[in-house]
Every structure is written in C-alpha cells, then in structure tokens.
Structure 1
Amino acid sequence: MNNKMRCAEQMQQELQHFRCPLCGEAFTLVNEQRSLRCPNTHTFDIAKQGYVNLLTKAVHTHYDKQLFEARQRIIVGHKFFNPLVKSIVNAIDEQMGSDKVQQSTILDLGCGEGSHLAAICDALSQQTSKQITGCGIDLAKPGIQLAAKHYPNQIWFVGDLARPPYQKHSFQFLLNILSPSNYDAFDSLLEYGGSVIKVIPGEHYLQELRHAFYSTSRATYSNVETLRLFKEHYPESEMHHLHYTVELDKAGLSDLLYMTPLTWNIPESTRQTFLNQETAIITCDLLLLIGRRSNKN
C-alpha cells in the first residue's frame, strides 16, 4: 500500500475528527478516496506523499527542506531530544492509565517534520494496549512532506492553526514542542479532561551557541512571559525541568546550526569558526509544561 492509499484509509477511519478549515463543515472522502470535500464543495486533494495541504495560498517561511532534514538528523540520528521524548511518553502514559477509553488521540501543533510525534506514538503503542492515533499539523509544507514520507502511520496536514481542520474537542492530548502557542486552538481542540503538553526552552538551552554568537541580550534567554501565559490559562499546571548535555560531532554541530533560528543571521565566517571544532558539548535545557482542561460541568 502506498502512502497516498494509506493516508486515505486513515482519513476514512478518523473522518469524524476533521472539518473544513474554510467553513467548519464536516469532510467526506470523494474522487475514489483521493480528496476531502465538505458540503460547500471546498475540496482538498491527498498528495501522493500521503498528506493533505489545506492552505489556499503558498506560505513562504525560513523553514525549508534542508532545515527539516537537519532537524530530523538531530532528533533521529544524533538522538539530541531522546530524554524529552521519554518524558513526554511517560507523562501521557501516566494520564492514560486511569482512562478506560480504548483509543487515545494526540495532535502535535507545529509538528515540523514529524519525528517527535512519530517517536512518541511508537513508544506509546509499545507500552499500552490502546489504539494511538497521532495527527500533526504545520504551516511549513516541506516539513509535512518529510513527515508523510518517513512516518506514514500518522495523519499529516499542512495548515494554519488560526483555522484548524479539526472538530472541536477531538483530542485527548495536544503537543506544542518548541513552537509558538495558540491558546484559542488549544481551547477549541482539547477534549474535556484532556492535557496540553508544551515544551519551552530553559534559560540555558543551547547556551553554547548563544555565547559563541552573541554578546548582547540575546546571549541569554528568558521564558518568564511564556510561563506566565501558560499558567494564566492552566493555573493547576505541572512543570518538569529537563537539563542534560549531548556531545555532537562536526556533522551534528553543522545540523544543529542549520536547524536553529539562533544562527539564521550569523555571518558564514562566524559559523565556520564554530564548526572548526571536531566535537562540542551542547546543553539541552527544557521545561515540560502540562496543563489539564477541567472536566465539563
């Protein structure tokens, strides 16, 4: 079964979770299960790679194919975020333990090339007998194309979180990993009793890059405002601190510099000076925030 057929089959099974981002009406599969269409005839084709592009016009960002390939190598090859993935899996598994529902739905908002979501879903599938349904959405088409190519077991959309293509309260878990928050989307998509798991940088995240490339205020990072907003929306939230280091070789350092916005405006000569190192110890300092939506009264 190719990725397009697999995507159509998954869409059919989970169709109740999706809606048209333009009018909010429910989707049906048409054109021999090659397209999603709503009653107002808004139609979106399933791409041959196995994803659906819901944008009505092209969006240009800094996030290109090469960036996402570098990010995938950092996550999968260099295992830079393995402790983070394990922590998220444990948090979800703990909350699923008391839930008698046999299916868990997870949406990654700003999923990039999908490696985090795929690893989390795979690990949960091995730890639980429940059916794990994972969906990812991102504004960057190159990221979703890579996600669909490498991780066909999840459902992938190119889309805008300002107009999410999902029915209200469809997901038990929302992931928001090193990506901007959209609290309106959180409120709309999270089911009652469900959880938002948000990951933000800690003060020392990638401090080696900040110290190498900046001598101003950007040499330090503050997450105070991000924390305040999360706690404002989820007053009973939990916070877990992850702090560890990873040794990267020259290839890993090159991938890291390519994937992080911290280096986008750095002169090439400065980047090359940093890459003259054979290896370097890099700090991963993250805060795992868990906010739970109260059960409906």
Structure 2
Amino acid sequence: MTEVATSDQLLVVIDPVARHSDGESVRIAKDVLSAGASTKVCLPEGPEEFARALARRGSRRPVVVGDDRALLRAVAHLHRQRELGACALSLVPVGRTLSLARSLGVPTGAVAAARTVLDGAEQWLDLLVDDSDGVVLGDLRIPWARGTAELAAEGVVPGPALAHPWLRTCQSLVRTLATRPSRLASAPPGPGPSRLRIEVDGVTLVDLDQPVAGVSVTPGASGGAWVEVRPVSVGAEVAPLRAAGRRVTVSGADFRYRADAAVGGPVRTRTWTLRERAWGLVLPG
C-alpha cells in the first residue's frame, strides 16, 4: 500500500443517483472532504457528463460519491481511456447497491468513507477484462437470472409484499385466472441447467456433455482468478470443480452473465483475462 497525502487536490464526482437517493449522506461527505483538502465538486446529470468530468480531472485525485454502479462506470471509463493505472480511485458509497463496495473493504458510512479518502492508502487490485473490453472488479456469475432485487427495480413486486387491499384483490384475481385454461402461451420456465464449456488457461474444466448449475469467477487468486463450477448432481451430491488461472473462456448455448452490478449477454462465447494490480482504490490504512 502507498500512503495518500492529505494535501492532495480532489475531484469529487457526485453521481446523480446518490444525490437523489440520499442527499444527507452526500452533504456530509462533501463537508468532510472540503474540510480536509482542496476540492472541486462536479454534479454530472448522466453518464456522458460523468465521463467528461473524469476526463478533465487534471492532477486532481478522483473521488466518486455513489453506489457500485458509479464505481464500475468510473473504472470502465478509465480502462477504455487506458488511464486506469494513472491514478487510484476513491469511493464514498452512497445508494442502495453497495455490496461490491463492502466486499472491496470500503467503509459504507459517509464520515468513515470520506476520512478514508483523506487518510487512507492506495491498494492496487486485480481486474478481469473480457474480450469486449468489459471489466469485472468483484465477481462474475454464469448463468444469471433475475432475482427479487432486480424484479423490484423493474417494478415487479412479489406476492408476499402486496400489502394494500386493492393489491391483494388483484393478486386474488390473477390466481383465479391462472387456474383457467388459456390459449395464450405459458410463461417461460425458470433457468435450468446450462451446457457450457469452461476452459481455464486452455485446459477444459468442464465440457458440454456435463450440465452445470452455475459458474463463478473471482479475481484475487495468487497470480490468477478463482474459478468454481457447480455441476448438476444426479442422485449423489457432486462436489464443485475448482481451478485458478489467468484466462477463462466460457462457450456454449447463448448465456447471460452478471459482472458485479451489470448484466451482459446473451453471448455464445466470452473470454476473461486477469490483469494483476491493474487498478487502484484508496482503502483504510
């Protein structure tokens, strides 16, 4: 780790989602940062302005105030500009999607995170880069299916959460109609086993003849990425297959994947390559 000088000038880029979701935490973070360093605050209204603010940072250290998606947006932009190794990022997590920030070791309280920006240390972390120039900071999961959180974000509320009487009435009507024959096509079934070929450094870990329930890839193994494949068990439980390597290729039928907070695909093949110490993040010293 490299100690961060508290006298550094800061470029504080505040994601619009953070401003709208938790203005009080944003205000606290701004106050703490301004009290400890020279700051220039940017309030972008969208991804394009967000990228322009980072591009015009000059010698200022970039500080992102926002959730996991804001951090991913910043890393992806700097990677595309081939400037990811030029400076370490700082993050003040504000928003509802903060699991990546927590896993990386960033404090989630506004005061503690802002003080880390001022007094923390740079840590250089591994990164997965795919063949379409996408990045993975935390973990990659295949196949990906929408869960409760994603459904809620799209406005689809599961049955148990329907509390209002008129909503319960609608739910009852839906159940009644569902028991009647219909000429309409039935809803597509949930995700089942996938047949995928998983190759790690050119060696096949599992082939298309073995259905799998899921695959996870995580940067951070010594000199490589951790790969875990969960085969579909028939009868006796099957232990996961594990390997570590620098290059992971997944191919087969169309599949989607979740890379941190973003969903990619469908694709038929994708390769992820580990890049060691590719990006910097300021963490508690």
TM-score, normalised to structure 2's length? 0.27
Higher relative strand content: 2
Structure whose CA Rg is larger: 2
Higher relative contact order (CA 8 A, sep 6+): 2
Higher relative helix content: 1
